[in-house]
Structure 1
């Protein structure tokens, strides 16, 4: 969130987030504590008085308590989450988590796992790599995983994706 030019944006985000969470909590509380009109004496279910299409009436049933408590706990979780993680403008959060740190951590783990696999091919001549059956099998697996979706399983390409099997790419 350091990309903001002034603290005004940060305050705006904090204000909108806080008002939204409080507003959701207050609305649920207010609706749950509304007094229902008296039930009719004839034993019918009470309605709110809203009628649509001449015969469709809205019943005046309260929200189920489990649903209401789940909604309250969702609001509480939102507040808890925004204090732990960076979600309120320039506030960094209690845990100090950032997406950049997570990315660097994941890249370090990937480098530790995959660098040894590719290290032996870095010093080899390209002709030797193309004749190495282990390298060819690894390249085929990588192509089938990451490239087939666009270039096709035969590398002939598709709309907006070039043909990788023609002379333009093979250098023939």
Structure 2
């Protein structure tokens, strides 16, 4: 009986030895989880479609035939509507009304002006580079008023989705003021607009 128990115990010990010694095969490596590749962020280009209103302030130089030119502070109100074509281009219409005090010699003074404008430009990030042109009107205290045209260029930058800041340079041409002199004017203005 003792031998039989010893033999069974010996066999049990030998049978358990591989289990106690551990697994002889290499363990399978744990799978490596790779972090997903970062998705490139889309460029932050705002949508320019919508109405805007604001103000502008700057410098004007008025030059009339036969008279010395004169400089003036110029400033006023702006309003308009832009349409974003979603292909990088923006088109729009706008209206400006400005106050100024530029003398034409000692005989008259240009006091205010109005512009109805078309503009078209290309988006660069949050900015818009554009060309503009259209109808111009100017009024003087002695020569009356006159119609003309203007052309120019500008840059506008979206500071937030509702506020834009920019600058504009315009050249104006007026053929005469009720039989008075031909005149031209150059304006440089900083602009601020609220968009809605």
| TM-score, reference length from structure 2 | 0.16
Q: Which has a greater percent of strand?
A: 2
Q: Which has a greater percent of helix?
A: 1
Rg larger in 1 or in 2? 2
Structure of higher RCO (CA pairs closer than 8 Å, 6+ residues apart): 2
